[in-house]
Amino acid sequence: MKLRPFQPDDFTVIQRWITDARTHAMWCANRMQFPLCREDFIRVIDEHSAQYGDKPLAAVSEDGAVIGFFCFSRNAGTNEGMLRFIVVDSARRGQGLGRQMLRLAVQYAFETTGADAVQLMVFSQNVRAKKCYEAAGFTERRTEAGVFRYGDELWDRCNMVIHRPLQDTTKEEE
C-alpha cells in the first residue's frame, strides 16, 4: 500500500463504500449529502482544503486500486495534524488495511509535515472504527457526550491522538 494525492476520478470508487445512511453519518457527520454525489464531495473537500489546509489522499494497493481515503491537515500553531473523512473499501474491511493506511498517514504526518501529534474524531458508537484507530496506536484524549443527533439517538464524539515517539538523545557510554 502507498499514499498518493486524491484524484477526482477516485470518487467513482469511494462512493461505493458508503452504502447506508447510518454508516454515512458515522463517516462524515452528515457534512456531505447521502447518497454521495461527486459535486458535493468535491465541494466539501475543497472547502476543507481552503479552511483547514486539508490535503485529500488516497491509499492504493500494489496494483494501483484505490482502497482507502482520508484528508490530512497540520495546524501550524499547535503543530498537530488532523485526519478527517477516513474510509476504507467496505469489501476489504477486516483485513488490516485501515490500520496500515493509518500508519502510513501518521508516518506522513511525522516525517513529511513534521507534526508532533496527529488527532482524529470518531463517534463512540462507531466501535469498529475506534478499534481500528486503537490498533494503529491512537489513544482516547477526551469524549464529548451526546454532541451529534442521528434520528432519535445522541452520539458521543471521541477525540483520539497519537504522539510522535520521543527520540532517545542519550549516547551509549563506551
168, pLDDT greater than 70: no
Q: What is the pLDDT of residue 174?
A: 44
Domains along the sequence of the chain with CATH: 2-116 (3.40.630.30)
Query: Which residues pair with residue 89 across a beta bridge?
Result: none
3-class DSSP state of 68 = strand
Q: What is the pLDDT of residue 166?
A: 82
Q: What is the pLDDT of residue 93?
A: 85
Q: How far is CA 25 from CA 135, 141, 148, 155, in A?
A: 23, 22, 9, 10
Residues 45 and 71 sit within 8 Å (Cβ to Cβ): yes
Residues 130 and 122 sit within 8 Å (Cβ to Cβ): yes
pLDDT digits (tens, 9 = 90+) for 30-61: 999 999 999 999 999 999 999 999 999 999 99
171, pLDDT greater than 90: no
